[in-house]
Amino acid sequence: MKISLSLRIVLLFLLINVSLQAQTKTNLDVFKVLVDSSITEALVNISDSPKDIYLDLKLGSSYAILEDQIFKSIKAHKKNISLISNPSENIGLSYSIENAVVNYGEVFRAGFLGDHFVERKIFISGSYRFQDKEVKIKDFYFDNIDTVKFDEIQILENSSYPFTKGEIPSEPFLSNLFEPLVAITTAAVVIALFFTVRSK
């Protein structure tokens, strides 16, 4: 009995762990991943030798929440970099985000009477300017396309940050009629079969 209980606890722990790992990333989390990709690209121009770098961020109030992710990405990819506040006679990296957008596709169903899903496309675009012995300017565009449950869209968005929200498509009208119709028909068939079997 003790072994059985231990096995149940282990299985429950594994199921919870798998469930947490399979959780869909929020829109904000996806934006952070895209920011990390853009910073990785921007840092290609910087060698691994120790450097003091002046970082000039142009995010505006709209994307200020992503500032922490930018610092984390820089520190993660270039551990020898020291970010400083004095721009004079130092290597400089100017980074700006111009657009951060969420788009949803049409609603579709996964299988017969399955859950409703939508394609989610999230992208950021902007530019960076790296100044050392010469100046390098480059535009960037990174996107992520995946599929999410229609019912989870409001959970994935964050009302505090408008850029994490997209125009939510309407659920198909015929689908809304079809499900109750199938449920009623199934119930009627079950009742009919029940009384037919009893009468025999």
Structure tokens at 123: 């992208």
User: Is the separation of the CB atoms in 46 and 75 below 8 Å?
Assistant: no
Place of tokens 């853009």: 38
pLDDT of amino acid 112: 63
| pLDDT at residue 1, rounded to an integer | 44
**pLDDT at residue number 138:** 94
Greatest pairwise CA separation for the chain in angstroms: 97
Q: What is the pLDDT of residue 104?
A: 96
CA torsion, ordered 135, 139, 140, 141, to nearest 10 deg: 180
CA torsion 80→83→86→92, rounded to 10°?
Answer: 80
pLDDT at residue number 2: 46
Cβ-Cβ contacts under 8 Å for 16 (sequence gap 6 or more): none
Identity of the residue numbered 105? G
Beta-carbon count within 10 A of 197 CB: 8
Which overall architecture, per CATH, does domain 25-192 show?
A: 2-Layer Sandwich (3.30)
pLDDT at 181: 54
Q: Contact at 8 Å (CB) between 113 and 182?
A: yes
- What was the pLDDT predicted at 6? 54
Q: What radius of gyration, in Å, describes the C-alpha atoms of the chain?
A: 26
**Per-residue model confidence as pLDDT tens for the chain (200 residues):** 445 555 555 455 445 444 433 588 999 999 999 999 999 999 887 777 778 888 999 998 899 999 999 999 999 988 888 888 777 666 888 999 999 999 999 999 876 667 899 999 999 999 999 887 788 899 999 999 999 999 999 999 999 999 999 999 987 655 554 555 555 666 666 676 666 766 66
Domain ranges of the chain: 25-192
pLDDT at 186: 66
Strands 108-109 and 91-104: unpaired
Q: What is the pLDDT of residue 9?
A: 53
